Amino acid sequence: MAQRIAVVTGAASGIGLAVAQALATDGDQVVMADVNAAAGEQEAEKIGALFVKADLSQRSGCRQLIDTTLDRFGRVDILISNAGIQHVSPVEDFPEDKWDFMISLMLTAPFLLTKYSWPSMKQNCWGRIIHINSVHGLIASPFKSAYISAKHGVSGLTKTTALEGGPLGITVNSICPAYVRTPLVDNQIADQAKTHGLSEDEVIEQIMLKNAAVKRLIEPSEIGDLVTYLCSDKAACFTGSCLTMDCGWTAT
């Protein structure tokens, strides 16, 4: 195959940035998408990627991202759906607008990006779709109704599209990490502390790492390493899997 074209969403920081860097190091042409144009353009320049500002909570933003990639490079070989946010609140107080936004960004967008990338992958008889899911795509925790609902939906989307993609040379997988050292996690520590009536240190010890056998946060680069493996021909038999990278959280 000629140089592969990889689309990575939520790529201006955190997991998305680490994945974009890993794929670029692996020799892929990366298209980085984010709403944060200043950070995204700066990081894209460092690795020779194309940056596209896109609001993926809108159908038009998803369409624009894939159309821009196809116009520029003629194909989409790899799709990494990563963009997401968190909001911590009891269900009775959970803002309805926030629910709508989170479901649009973290469940509808992965579906639309898959749908729009699918014809290119089908035509070339090869594709890799990886959703950056969460351990919360497999199990639940309180006060995160929208996030957990979206991530459980992504698990179902992964399995369904894997069945459809198998005969076409397209694999679809999810990576389900526990807490990763990212701005998303840093920002929710204060929210968790307020909701649970704990200090921020207590949130890390008693909530984030409570169920983990390995008591540490996951590094974004570790997600990048797994993505590059799943995008390789060595991982051709991995499809429809929700791969846990959870420091033993779900072992109990």
The pLDDT value recorded for residue 185 is 81
76-90, 115-129, 199-213: the lowest-pLDDT one: 199-213
Q: Which residues make Cβ contacts (< 8 Å) with residue 234, sequence separation at least 6?
A: none
When pLDDT is averaged across residues 142-163 and rounded to a whole number, the result is: 97
User: How far from the centroid of its chain's Cα atoms is residue 31's Cα?
Assistant: 15
Domain positions in the chain are 5-180+219-251
- The arrangement of secondary structure in 5-180+219-251, i.e. its CATH architecture, is 3-Layer(aba) Sandwich (3.40)
Q: How far apart are CA 136 and CA 147, in angstroms?
A: 8
The pLDDT value recorded for residue 88 is 87
Q: What is the mean pLDDT of the chain?
A: 95
Strands (E), 10-65: 29-34, 50-53
Of 116, 147, 179, 229, which one is the catalytic site residue? 147
In the predicted model, is pLDDT for residue 135 greater than 70? Answer: yes
When pLDDT is averaged across residues 10-31 and rounded to a whole number, the result is: 98
When pLDDT is averaged across residues 129-155 and rounded to a whole number, the result is: 97
165-178, pLDDT tens digit by residue?
999 999 999 999 99
When pLDDT is averaged across residues 223-228 and rounded to a whole number, the result is: 98
pLDDT band per the 50, 70, 90 thresholds, residue 2: confident
Among this protein's residues, is 229 annotated catalytic? no
181-197, pLDDT tens digit by residue?
888 787 778 777 887 88
pLDDT band per the 50, 70, 90 thresholds, residue 229: very high
Percent of the chain with pLDDT over 90: 84
What's the token pair of residue 78?
Answer: 């790899």
The pLDDT value recorded for residue 1 is 65
Residue 160, classified by CB atoms within 10 Å of its CB into exposed (0-12), middle (13-18) or buried (19+), is: middle
101-112, pLDDT tens digit by residue?
999 999 999 999
In the predicted model, is pLDDT for residue 203 greater than 90? Answer: no
When pLDDT is averaged across residues 22-48 and rounded to a whole number, the result is: 98
The pLDDT value recorded for residue 186 is 77
Q: Are 194 and 89 in contact (CB under 8 A)?
A: no
When pLDDT is averaged across residues 111-140 and rounded to a whole number, the result is: 98
